[in-house]
Structure 1
Amino acid sequence: MKKHRAFLKWAGGKYTLVEDIRRHLPQGKVLVEPFVGAGSVFLNSDFEHYVLNDINPDLIALYQHLSTDPERYIRDAREFFGPKTNNKETYYQMRERFNATTDTYQRALLFLYLNRHGYNGLCRYNRKGGFNVPFGSYKAPYFPEDELGHFAEKAKRATFTCQNFVHSMRSAKTDHVVYCDPPYVPLSVTASFTTYASPGFTLDDQALLAKTALESSQRGVSVLISNHDTEHTRWLYRDANLNTVQVKRSISRNGKGRQKVGELLALYHQAEQQEEVVKYPRLVQG
């Protein structure tokens, strides 16, 4: 299967990990992604349908506008790429324009511009909800026309939602498979990065995710979660089957600082719950 890159730059994107994720994803008709992000798993898997969710309304609005009228969106977005828009003064004007407007189509166009021209492709908001990533100073930001087109074509099989991850997971049915790529548990106190959308993703949220995954598996829905391989995540996912892979982190702009770290894939499989019913019928009945 040919690999397809996402059109957005995304901290923690799963492009390099999609083969490992595919190997551990159970079969099902529909893939549900409560934390879709840039969509690398969506783009590199083959399900009949997809339910793609994210708490970031700007991200979901972009996907909706692109999938509704891809020709218009790609044509209009192209105007934001070129030498005239690739300078610090214009970038901050565009960022201010993005933060000031409530027009979802204009925000969708500017979101792509800011993503490709901002520092390291970060998506970060301040406490007031303002996008605050600084200028990236790239020689010639790439306009991802082919990637946009491929996303729009595959999105014909997708439904987009913008809600809390718990609601997204609880809406899954028994022929659905859930893949969760939450903001990761920090490797250290100083490494915390949880502000993909405001407010941040807390340790309480991490625990709630594990609890919801277990509850989903108990009602017949398989859930796969990826996260850093730490003592804390192994404890959080103690009710799941755990597998570890090594992946190179690319959030640092300095390539020398990109070291391999352990990636944990935690699978809550509904089939195992069925096995428990066979092994312990009295506990289930009583």
Structure 2
Amino acid sequence: MKKNAFTHLLAAVLLCCSLGSLSAQDLKQSQLSISYRLSHLTFLDQQASPLIYQANLNGVAVAYEHSAPKSRSFINFQANLGTALPKGIGMREFTFTGTDFYGETTTTKLLHAPTIYVGQLEAGYLRRLKTGGTKSIFVGGTLQNWIAYSDNIGFWSTMGINTASLNAAIQYEKKLSPKQQFKMGASFPVVAIVSRMPYSNVISAPERGNFEAFFTEGSQLTSLHHYQRLNLHAAYSYRLSRHWQTGLAYNFTWLHYTHPQPIRVLNQALNIQVNYLF
């Protein structure tokens, strides 16, 4: 009798442990996202041009996120390009005249519409700080690398900047319904390595390539006293089925750096997302 009772008790304990393990496992989820990005970029790089430039960018983003009961970890990549034009001026046309070999006057017209390339790679880890019902708050850090480049700003000057930073981050999540979720967050750099063109805005390193010289000659370790950046994001997602989700995300970025000449960047982006859950 006692043996049967002990057997039943042991089975009940093992069942409870098994159910608890399965329940915790069910809360773990991975997500792969692909997004089409529409963004508007405004920047003033006084090292390349005294004019404020604007660009409507098109791009793509790919992201992976792993959700656990007490944490979030993620990595994302985005690439964007567009035409950068001076604010209030737009596309400019230049006319060049000259004389050819036969003494005849020739005229050449050139439209000045520089292409700008913007990319970002970011990885982060967040830990649950507080939870209450359908709401959760996470805090943590991210490693973020952001780059922007155009070789035709102003009168054919180069605009180039790369920032690699360690950021402090916070995120708020709320489950609106079994199929709907909303989250928003913010991050800012604690320390960063910022790479820019030298003061002359010309790289001269015959013994090295321009890419290597850009990072070795123009990189500075800095913090909030010279480099400020604010990243904000908000996202809404709707679950279509067990494995598929769709949604919209908004990103806001403000950047300011003072060395060797000030640069200011403002970027707003809308992401149209498709998520695969597994």
Of Structure 1 and Structure 2, which has the larger fraction of its residues in strand? 2
Of Structure 1 and Structure 2, which has the larger fraction of its residues in helix? 1
Higher relative contact order, structure no. (Cα contacts within 8 Å, ≥ 6 residues apart): 1
What is the TM-score normalised by the length of structure 2? 0.23
What is the TM-score normalised by the length of structure 1? 0.23
Structure with max Cα Rg: 2
